[in-house]
Amino acid sequence: MPERVQITVAESAGFCPGVKNAIDKVLELAKQRKRTIYTLGPLIHNKQVIETLKEQNVRAVSSAAEIKERGAILVIRAHGIPPEEEAALRALDLEVVDATCPLVKHVQENIRVHARKGYATIIVGDRDHAEVLGLMGYTEGRGYVVDGPDQAKDLPGLEKANIVAQTTQEHAVFLAAAEEARRHCGELIISNTICNPTRQRQEETVQFAEKSDLVIVVGGKNSANTARLFQICERLAKKAVHIEKEDELRKSFFHGASTIFITAGASTPTWMIEKVLEKARRLAGGRESRLLEQLAFAWKLAITGSLYTALAAAALTYVCLKLEGAPVSGMPLSMAGLFALSLHMANRAAEKGAAAPDKAGRLLFVKHRAAARVTALLCGTLAILLSAALGWKVFLTAAFFWSLGMLYPHKLPPGLAKFGNFPASKDILTALGWAFMCAYAPGLWNGGALADSTQLAVFFAFLLVFTRSVMFGISHAHSDLIVGRENFYKAAGSGFTYFTLLVILLLLAFILLTLESMNWKPGLTAALLTGLLYYMGLMLFFFFRRIPERITAETLIDTQFLVLAALARFA
């Protein structure tokens, strides 16, 4: 085993935009309609993701005849279907939603335009692949499928033709097939319809595979683009393996490998790649300290088990007590920590499938999901009982926020169900609950709820926690977890999300400057202003660099509260 092992993960790995678009559509439908959503064939070629979608009440059918419900929702998957098949579906008593990848739509339209001008169509792709079957429907009966230059030799003589590529085709294969097809056509239009994400993925794979002792290709065995990546790697790397999940890795793969490259198909989520990376590190390292391995596992358990979140909530409460000029005691710190622990654990336990992708998360929330729910219930009950000691106003409001948070991942009461479908609703609800427990409740307890310092502390806490929740959402979205528009990042998009985070940073600074102008604890406010540099640095790190894997990202995000608490302590 080599002394030093370098493992590189492809920056282009993870869901492609077309896959993200299809998944977002079915999740939004499932959340809004609260009933089974059917897809015509598997939405994407990844068994693990399809299983996760089943838990979200999304079911794949091979034909509309399998659907017995009147007015059911049927989604056309990312690969698209022939136009005559789509027309037949829309004539049925079904609500048809088109989730065809926009880049596949572009190829369909390209073929349609040229076919109407009398051009035959040559498609370079896999004859039986769903995308190719859909594309053939636009050729007006003058379509030919070839898998490369060898099959292109058998093309008949064509007066004029348009050659296109299956969007996930290998670039070199398409160019070679087009060159061969030129010999059979009087006029040939070359439409290179390989999508940019595929081209980037293949170029990066070529670049690293040539320099790697071992390449691990992660993706469904029935995924055409994953199979092509593997074929490229087999040609270029010393050794290449194609796996669907980390359990297929063997220690023997890593013998003699000092440079390892991990890439994945367009339908492989980032959280699966992270699991492969974690196991690859363990198998390739060989000399890693058992103590370090145990410490790493304990830390993952603290993060996925919500213990670090509880500590972060207690730290924020400490900061708010300092800002309000209230005495620091264990009561509000414990109350806020238990409140956050309860709701975070309950939400984690309610998450489906891929929501807890790491080993520690599976241990706690899959094998012991029921125990996690009971623990969350007990911690929440204790938090509410502690709040009763602060007065009935605190008790009732705490009970309201806690009940709402516990119900959110399941089914809200009819009067609140519309709020659950509101974009960023989860981020807003989390920020409101934490702001009350960490800032307003201590203010009520100390009789200063109407004081300017308390009001500003509540606003300060709300903005900080909203930021935390949004950045969690960015991390989850970049890990390709199954999340919907209750996530601010998914609802608003990247550009507006980072603009919002910048505005919040400025508002946080304004609050602290306002307190300083009131001559309210100038040393403390100056220290907290310094603490905002951590927040700014973290935001820039997320914006300019690859988002770290989930455990690291969540650690970095919640650490901002501990940094602020430490600065408040020594101000």
Q: Which sequence positions are flagged as catalytic?
A: 131
Q: What is the largest CA-CA distance in the chain?
A: 90
Q: Which of 486, 481, 489 is nearest to 270 (CA)?
A: 481
Residue 289 C-alpha from the chain's centroid = 32
Q: Which amino acid, 336?
A: A
Please tell me the distance from the alpha carbon of residue 345 to that of residue 466, in angstroms, as a whole number.
18
Residue 27 C-alpha from the chain's centroid = 13
Within 13 Å, how many C-alpha atoms sit on residue 324's CB side?
30
Please tell me the distance from the alpha carbon of residue 296 to that of residue 281, in angstroms, as a whole number.
13
The crossing angle, in degrees rounded to 10, of helices 196-209 and 224-236 is: 20
CB atoms within 10 A of CB 190: 18
Give the CA dihedral 220, 224, 229, 234, nearest 10 degrees.
90
Pair 84, 54: CB distance under 8 Å: no
What backbone phi and psi angles, to 5 degrees, belong to 232?
-60, -45
User: Which residues share a beta bridge with 37?
Assistant: 58, 73
Please tell me the distance from the alpha carbon of residue 310 to that of residue 338, in angstroms, as a whole number.
6
